[in-house]
Chain A
Amino acid sequence: DTAVSQTPKYLVTQMGNDKSIKCEQNLGHDTMYWYKQDSKKFLKIMFSYNNKELIINETVPNRFSPKSPDKAHLNLHINSLELGDSAVYFCASSLAGGPETQYFGPGTRLLVL
């Protein structure tokens, strides 16, 4: 069973569209995250949620909106997609914050044309 799953795995879309990426974890973790890894391979945290509450909101455009319907899910909605949004988006979860119990999902490769 996959611990942290993301859908879709690949997403190719046009500029200006709105898209969502879904993330689910079956580990019973309290904290979930979204990270962005750009073409230069920098991995940056975007958001962190703990028990459905937003904990970290890094400086990302407000076109990005995370939504946590329950503790096991953290979806990422992106409005008005731009070329610069092309990247790999990783979801992750952890038990109590910190990497020792953190698991990453397989990533969603987003390409905006």
Chain B
Amino acid sequence: RKEVEQDPGPFNVPEGATVAFNCTYSNSASQSFFWYRQDCRKEPKLLMSVYSSGNEDGRFTAQLNRASQYISLLIRDSKLSDSATYLCVVGRDDMRFGAGTRLTVKP
């Protein structure tokens, strides 16, 4: 089993749609979780941390389910500019990246 698994997509959604990405991780001792965004041919950038109680940043909501070893990212009212690959990351000093889920938002 891979350390961090994501549905690769692609997800093609219309503007304004709500889209959710899931990620599972294998190390039950993991304590730190993050979502990154990577635009085509660019470096990855931190989108948000994922806290145990769930957290929201504008249109983005991240949730953690420790029992199922699963992290999710929900994007509401998606914009064209949300088109990117979203990477799930587990760990802090020894970060493990998922392969990413590609999102395309269409007009």
Contacts and interface: CB of A to CB of B under 8 A. Distances in A.
Given A40-B99, A42-B99, A43-B87, A97 B43 contact: no
Interface residues of A, number: 19
A41 B100 contact: yes
B94 A56 contact: yes
B94 A45 contact: yes
A41 B42 CA distance: 12
Contacts of B45: 104
Contacts of B93: 48, 55-56, 97-98
Contact of B85 (A41, A97, A105): A41
Contact of B44 (A97, A100, A104): A104
A45 B4 CA distance: 14
Contact of B43 (A56, A100, A105): A105
Interface in A59-113: 90, 97-100, 102, 104-107
A63 to B, nearest CB: 22
Interface of B: 32, 34, 36, 41-46, 49, 85, 87, 89, 92-95, 97, 99-100
